[in-house]
Amino acid sequence: MIRDTIPAEELLSKAHTVGQYYGFTPLSTLTLKSRGSARKSADHPETLSGMALDPIAGIVVSFLKQCQNIGCAPTPRQPLFIWHTNIAPGRAAQKKAVIQFHALGTDRALADVVVIRALIALVRDIFHEEPVVRINSMGDKETRARYSRELGNFFKKRASILPEECVTCAKQDTFAAAELAIANEYADDLPAPTEHLSDASRKRFEDLLEYLEMTETPYELARNLISRGNAWNDTCFELSVGGRRVAWGSRYSDLTRHFFPGAPFNGTCAVLQVASGGKMVKKVAVPRLRFSFVHIGDEAKRFSIRLAEEFRKAHVPLTQNIGIESLTEQLSLAERRNSPYLLIMGRKEALENSAILRNQQTQVETVLPLAGLAERLKSFA
pLDDT digits (tens, 9 = 90+) for 265-279: 899 999 999 998 767
Record the pTM: 0.92
Asked if residue 123 and residue 268 are part of one domain, the reply reads yes
Asked if residue 66 and residue 93 are part of one domain, the reply reads yes
Asked if residue 263 and residue 301 are part of one domain, the reply reads no
Domain contains 198? no
Asked if residue 253 and residue 162 are part of one domain, the reply reads no
* pLDDT score of 370 more than 90: yes
Kindly report, residue by residue over 207-234, the tens digit of the pLDDT: 999 999 999 999 999 988 988 878 899 9
Q: Which domain holds residue 161?
A: 141-193
The answer to whether 31 and 71 have CB atoms below 8 angstroms apart is: no
Domain contains 214? no
Asked if residue 113 and residue 30 are part of one domain, the reply reads yes
Of 55, 111, 52, 65, the C-alpha closest to 251 is 111
Instruction: Give the number of domains in the chain.
Output: 3
**CA 43, CA 278: separation in Å to the nearest integer?**
31
Domain contains 210? no
- Tell me, what CATH number does 332's domain have? 3.40.50.800
Asked if residue 232 and residue 125 are part of one domain, the reply reads yes
Asked if residue 125 and residue 183 are part of one domain, the reply reads no
CB burial class (10 A; 0-12, 13-18, 19+) of residue 82?
A: buried
Domain contains 209? no
Kindly report, residue by residue over 124-159, the tens digit of the pLDDT: 999 999 999 999 999 998 899 999 999 999 999 988
Asked if residue 250 and residue 122 are part of one domain, the reply reads yes
